[in-house]
Structure 1
Amino acid sequence: MSILLFIYALLLGSFYNVVGLRVPVHKSIVKPRSACSNCHTVLSPAELIPVVSYFIQGGRCRHCKVRLSPIYPLGELLTGVLFVFAYRQFGLSLDAVIAWTLISLVMIITVSDIAYMLIPDRILIVFAGLFIVERIADPLTPWWDSIIGAAAGFFLLLLIALASKGGMGGGDIKLYAVLGFAMGVKAALLSFFFATLYGAAIGIIGLCLGVFKRKKPIPFGPFIGLGALTSFFFYQKIIDWYLSLF
């Protein structure tokens, strides 16, 4: 089961790359067929095998030899690993379905935010609808925790955006409303702590290595996604560990 799920998730990860790159620029996710962004040659099925084709081609386009972004295979591989991890954690259950939906959202907005510094409303609306249906079928305890979580996530980031005078994007604010609904208020607040921790740590490392430049905006969506996954999967273990310190 895990192997089949991993393969299926790799294919989904490839599709999520397409969604994250096309939706923000208002392109169809169905057509045209995938092509090299440099030479525009339509890619064959053999060139679209998740992860494998990237390494077989040495990380370059087979036609024009331009270097391909490692984001593509990394996103595919992470989707596969995370889907299997969620299955191992929850089995075949509604909790696993919610986890897979959360992973899917994180992978798509990560690609979108890195590529365009944008988290499209259309993506958030689709996933908000999915989470609403899933939380009706598998509600939090108490059920209104989802509503409070959505409100807390939205207004927390809104206040930060107002205080920082634009330091937080509108997409980040709406994303946290969706995440808060899916996870509940406590897990959402914990996820924000981890998002800022990851963002600060990776930002400092990136500045030291010259990857990031001072006063140049850094996409926060990937850190929000990483914080959300950390909190969703490990919330209770983290809380138990913290309380054990006292």
Structure 2
Amino acid sequence: MGLLIGSFLNVVAIRVPEGRSIVFPASHCMKCGNTLRKFDLVPVLGYIWLRGKCRFCKTSVSPVYPLGELVTGTLFAVYAWQMGWQLELIPALLFVSILLVIVQTDLRLMIIPDRVVLFGLLAIVPIRLFVSHPLPLWSYAVAGLGVGILLFLLAVVSKGGIGGGDIKLFALLGLFLGLQNTFLALFIASLLGVLVGFATRLLRKDSKKKFIPFGPFIAAGALFSYLWGEKAFTWYWSLLTSGGS
């Protein structure tokens, strides 16, 4: 199932930023415009069978497509394995899907589409109210509003160091993760961003500043926090208490 959804998310990541329908027209070659056959659309296997080329015009197809399918399938499997078949798995897999679309658009275009974030907000609010809320409801509300305001103030102070898309994304994360795990996601994202930025600066030869999209780091921190945030805090607290004693 994860592979199939990954294939669909590839379409969403390409078409939504362009304002196109995610349903029509059917999947087609971006070069020659021919509609892809059913077997061509089989996740991963279709790409391997066609040797990474269009059946009709032989134009090379980006490996991003099968990679996106594999990553989605892997994350779905990990989440299902860690969480088991419980009600909370529904928002969890929705969460993974939204983040994967955002990672693709941020890496490719350096944008976080408002439509994707808005969809997440419209989807998670009724889920948290009526379906599943493992934490107190106030935790999600405070996290969504509080973190969004905090990052907005940081963006003003840093004069654009934090993008508007990142602020909206963290507001969305608050509703999915709750207050504690959202701050953990922010910490992990910041740490990864600093490390990658430092490594990039050391490795590149030119002295020009290169903008690095922050969305993938946010996604990494959020994906970790959703599954293992509580365990991480428990482990850290045990270290503090054992050290104090």
The normalised TM-score by structure 1 is 0.88
Residue aligning to 1:99 = 92
Question: Which residues of structure 1 form unaligned runs of 5+?
Answer: 1-7
What amino acid sits opposite 1:143 in the alignment?
A: L
Give the Cα separation in 2 of the matches to 1:230 and 1:157.
20
- Contact 2:181–2:230 (CA under 8 A) maintained in structure 1: no
Deviation at 1:207, TM superposition (A): 4.9
Q: Which has the larger radius of gyration?
A: 2
Segment of structure 1 superposing worse, 212-221 or 158-167:
212-221
Of 23, 37, 43, the residue aligned with 2:36 is 43
Q: Deviations over 1:175-195 (max 9, x none)?
A: 110110111111000001111
Deviation at 1:46, TM superposition (A): 1.9
Q: Deviations over 1:224-243 (max 9, x none)?
A: 11110011111122112222
Segment of structure 1 superposing worse, 137-146 or 105-114:
137-146
Deviation at 1:100, TM superposition (A): 0.6
Give the Cα separation in 2 of the matches to 1:93 and 1:157.
33
Give the Cα separation in 2 of the matches to 1:213 and 1:32.
44
Q: Count residues with an aligned counterpart.
A: 239
Residue aligning to 1:149 = 143
Give the Cα separation in 2 of the matches to 1:236 and 1:183.
11
Residue aligning to 2:121 = 128
What amino acid sits opposite 2:86 in the alignment?
A: S
Residue aligning to 1:182 = 176
Residue aligning to 1:5 = none
Q: Deviations over 1:165-220 (max 9, x none)?
A: 11222111111101101111110000011112222333444455559994232221
Deviation at 1:95, TM superposition (A): 1.4
Do structure 1's residue 197 and structure 2's residue 194 form an aligned pair?
A: no
Give the Cα separation in 2 of the matches to 1:127 and 1:25.
19
Segment of structure 1 superposing worse, 13-22 or 37-46:
37-46
The percent of aligned pairs where both chains have the same amino acid is: 41
Question: Which residues of structure 2 form unaligned runs of 5+?
Answer: 241-245
Taking a change above 3 Å as real, the CA distance of residues 60 and 71 of structure 1, as seen in their structure-2 partners, is same
Give the Cα separation in 2 of the matches to 1:181 and 1:133.
11
Deviation at 1:25, TM superposition (A): 1.0
Give the Cα separation in 1 of the matches to 2:21 and 2:206.
31
Give the Cα separation in 1 of the matches to 2:233 and 2:30.
45
SS in 1 for 2:51: coil
Give the Cα separation in 1 of the matches to 2:82 and 2:107.
29
Deviation at 1:40, TM superposition (A): 2.8
SS in 2 for 1:10: helix
Residue aligning to 2:104 = 111
SS in 1 for 2:88: helix
What amino acid sits opposite 1:50 in the alignment?
A: P
Q: Deviations over 1:141-187 (max 9, x none)?
A: 32200111101221222122112211222111111101101111110
Taking a change above 3 Å as real, the CA distance of residues 68 and 204 of structure 1, as seen in their structure-2 partners, is farther
Residue aligning to 1:72 = 65
Do structure 1's residue 86 and structure 2's residue 72 form an aligned pair?
A: no
Segment of structure 1 superposing worse, 50-59 or 108-117:
50-59
What amino acid sits opposite 1:146 in the alignment?
A: Y
Residue aligning to 2:243 = none
